[in-house]
Amino acid sequence: MRELSLHILDIIQNSIAAEASLVEVVIEEDLKKNLFSIQVKDNGQGMAADQLKTITDPFVTTRQTREVGLGIPLLQKAAEQCAGELKINSIPGEGTVLTVYFQYDHIDRAPLGRLVETIIGLIAVNPAIDFIYSYLYNGRVFKLDTREIKQELGQLAINQTEILNWLRDYLKEGLKDLRR
């Protein structure tokens, strides 16, 4: 995949398929440590130890629509090509945490891509799921928690066009301010 945001989308779709009601995405850029990391954590069904052992095998998938599952193996390969690694922890009935590390300045590290649009699209299509999106840049933090937004909205649906447009602008501005 050309953008890391597409990998994140794939992982979150796995979380949704595992019946998660809360998905947390944490992106971290630490220039001093030369580290770029992505973490996706959910409260879905989780995986048993035997399933966890085969999660990086492209020829093992739980999906019924195809016989291969390339998302996690491709992400693992992308990390390894950039002096990084992929780690997955999962507890049945509690959820899964996937963390991937990259050498920040590695020439082969794919760009993050259009993550704001990815997050907005996920909120639009999955209004019942809560998302927490945190971006850490050299120790500074920007965070969006849809639970807080939904509480402020009251009876208004979070996936209304006007609200999604406001969220998009809020994310873009917050991430821009983070880098100042």
pLDDT mean over 123-136: 98
| pLDDT given for residue 64 in this prediction | 52
| pLDDT given for residue 28 in this prediction | 98
| pLDDT given for residue 56 in this prediction | 81
Query: Where are any strands of DSSP class E within the chain?
Result: 22-30, 35-42, 85-91, 95-103, 130-137, 140-145
Q: What is the largest CA-CA distance in the chain?
A: 47
Helix (H, G, I), strand (E, B) or coil at 7: helix
Helix (H, G, I), strand (E, B) or coil at 53: helix
pLDDT mean over 121-134: 98
Query: What CA–CA distance (Å, rounded) separates 123 from 75?
Result: 23
| pLDDT given for residue 66 in this prediction | 44
pLDDT mean over 15-20: 96
**Through-space distance between the first and last CA atoms of the chain, rounded to whole angstroms:** 29
Per-residue pLDDT tens for 51-106?
888 888 776 655 555 444 578 999 999 999 999 999 999 999 999 999 999 999 99
- 31: tokens are 């220039």
pLDDT mean over 171-179: 96
Mean pLDDT of the chain: 93
> Is 90 exceeded by the pLDDT of residue 138?
yes
Residue-range domain boundaries for the chain: 4-178
| pLDDT given for residue 68 in this prediction | 46
| pLDDT given for residue 60 in this prediction | 61
The alpha-helical segments, DSSP class H, found in 101-144 are 115-125
Which neighbouring-strand residues pair with 35? 30, 103
pLDDT mean over 148-176: 97
CB 41 within 8 A of CB 114: no
pLDDT mean over 141-169: 97
CATH fold group of domain 4-178: Heat Shock Protein 90 (3.30.565)
| pLDDT given for residue 18 in this prediction | 94
Among 111, 103, 95, 97, residue whose Cα is nearest residue 20:
95
Q: Which residues contact 146 (CB under 8 A, 6 or more apart)?
A: 123, 130, 131, 132, 158
Query: What CA–CA distance (Å, rounded) separates 23 from 13?
Result: 10
